Chains A and B, each alone.
Chain A
Amino acid sequence: MSGSISVDFVGHQFSETAEIVLADIKISVKAGQLVSLIGRSGCGKSTLLHIISGLLTPASGCVRIDGKTVTKPSAKWNMMFQKASLFPWMSVQENVGLGLKFSGASKGQIAQKTHELLELVGLKEKAQDSTQSLSGGQQQRVALARSLATSPSVILLDEPFSALDTFTRSALQQDVAAICKQKGITMVLVTHDIDEAVMMSDRVFVMDQNPGRIIDEIKVDLAWPRKHMSQHFQRIREDLLTAFKGTEKTESFRALDGSRYKAKSSAA
């Protein structure tokens, strides 16, 4: 299985004079593992993900995927963003097949693969539709299918569900984790949502800021598929909250934890 990632002492600042955004980040992820990065807004999560994807070159250190240093983006490791960013002049199907088209695949191959993926994400009937007629959740599903089309060994997700409603988000969390497990894809997920991190990953890295660094790692040894209400789930969530507490100033901690979190668990 391919798709192991090693981030070796990556540091970054956007210019010589700017503040240090990332300092000495060291992570290694085994092929097929699902990991999450959580941390306060602005701690450098997106920056780190961009560096892993090759969209951004780190000021120091390097990222290796399957032992090879990442120097530029590649369809072998795909990134998904908060916005689906579908191409509105293409149909759903054409969006999904775009990566394959770029790589020069034949029409037949593209048709077969897009069909298979749209079935996987549950949008087979929408193949010919305009992307603008889709709901937010459906658009993210198309973006997911588009990312999977080039058969990547790694997918990098930058808060891909944060704009979705609770039900849609929860369904997509389950689906993405299941697809990654099934296909043996390594996943790195950036999220603000502690539930989401526990729901979707084998390991959770907690980041602190100024400069952005990893201060803790929590293992999530829950069986798949995961259920919110289990005792074990709650315990790991508590662990994460405690780790998180270290990174937060008290007032902002409450905003992140208290209100939103309680509302959710009481609803469940």
Chain B
Amino acid sequence: MSQVASGAEIVEGPRLRARSMVSGFPSKYGYPLVGIMILLAVWWFGGWLIATNDDLSAFADFAPGPTFAALIDLIRSGDLTQTIVSSLFRVGAGLLWGFAIGVPVGILIGYVLVAMRVANVPFQFLRMISPLAWMPIAVLAFETWDSAIIFLIVMATVWPIMFSTSHGVKRIDPSWFKVAKNLGASGTQMVHRIILPAIMSDVMAGVRLAVGVAWVVLVPAEYLGVTSGLGYAINDARDTLAYDTLAAIVLVIGVIGYLLDTVCGVLVSRFNWHQKD
């Protein structure tokens, strides 16, 4: 599989090289850095506007200075780690369930035409319901707050994973089965060497989408009864008027979300064998 990746790079090669001859460093780090600087500048400017406005000066702690100070405090006290771990645990569990349900069902509806026809309308219908709309039902149906939150995340992750998986299965070239059978593949070898690698890039693309949605859904879901996690921390900071902490948590949510997406992006390209246009 690593060879596939290197092959893809060869296809990309000339274009990347051509660009990097003009500007090697900027294209990789420079441009993102400029983007970050602009964001910080806007933030700082907003903070300055708030601070200089008498009506709003109570919110001056949203500015970068107090925020980073609060962030350092959060990290030092160890509270932040605890908060992040609880949140990641919920997202991870929700994702795992979404994967465990989404992949097999996706394979089924991708492979069996009748299953697709039967499932299409109900699944498209369910998919369009915001996972947060299940909140009251989740609270009634589950004993613990944690499982209710995980349920909401499953409702967010299962659809993208399911639909990408079935898309991947539909893209399998039937002649691969013929060739593999001809080369003497057993049933398990067929699954392991042909079917799974063939659909893996689509499955991972689904996982990437799912992680994005799950992370977005997580914060409001954690407004529910729990007393840990990033969503709870935001709520708590608001109630205690700790706006610097609130801003620090928002910052952390953004950074972790970005990192999660980056990791998924790496996984997607690791498993991707589709030709780049």
Residues of A within 8 A of B (CB): 53, 55, 73-75, 78-79, 81, 83, 85, 87-91, 93-94, 98-99, 101-103, 128-133, 146, 150
Q: In the complex the two chains form, is A73's CB within 8 Å of B182's CB?
A: yes
Q: Which 8 A-B pairs have the closest CB atoms?
A: A130-B7, A91-B3, A99-B183, A89-B273, A75-B184, A85-B175, A88-B273, A89-B197
Residues of chain B contacted by A89 (CB below 8 angstroms): 1, 4, 197-198, 200, 271, 273
Q: Supply 5 A–B pairs (Cβ within 8 Å), ascending by A.
A: A73-B181, A78-B183, A98-B183, A102-B186, A150-B183
Residues of chain B contacted by A53 (CB below 8 angstroms): 182
**A246→B158 CA distance, assembly (Å):** 61
Residues of chain A contacted by B182 (CB below 8 angstroms): 53, 55, 73, 75, 78-79
Q: A55-B181, A75-B184 are in contact. Are A81 and B7 (CB under 8 A)?
A: no
Q: A55-B178, A83-B175, A130-B3 are in contact. Are A102 and B10 (CB under 8 A)?
A: no
Partner of A130, one of B8, B189, B194, B271: B8
Question: Does B22 lie at the interface of the complex (its beta carbon under 8 Å from any beta carbon of A)?
Answer: no
Residues of chain B contacted by A55 (CB below 8 angstroms): 178, 181-182
A109 to B: closest C-beta gap in Å: 15
Residues of B within 8 A of A (CB): 1, 3-4, 6-8, 10-11, 173, 175-176, 178-186, 189, 193-194, 197-198, 200, 271, 273-275
Residues of chain B contacted by A78 (CB below 8 angstroms): 182-183
Residues of chain A contacted by B176 (CB below 8 angstroms): 85, 87
Residues of chain A contacted by B198 (CB below 8 angstroms): 87, 89
Q: A53-B182, A88-B273, A133-B11 are in contact. Are A81 and B175 (CB under 8 A)?
A: yes
**Smallest Cβ-Cβ distance to B196: which chain A residue:** A89
Residues of chain B contacted by A146 (CB below 8 angstroms): 179, 183
**A78→B181 CA distance, assembly (Å):** 10
Q: In the complex the two chains form, is A133's CB within 8 Å of B7's CB?
A: yes
Q: In the complex the two chains form, is A128's CB within 8 Å of B183's CB?
A: no
Q: In the complex the two chains form, is A81's CB within 8 Å of B178's CB?
A: yes
Residues of chain A contacted by B197 (CB below 8 angstroms): 87, 89-90
Q: In the complex the two chains form, is B178's CB within 8 Å of A87's CB?
A: no
Most chain B C-beta atoms within 10 Å of own C-beta, residue among A74, A81, A130: A130
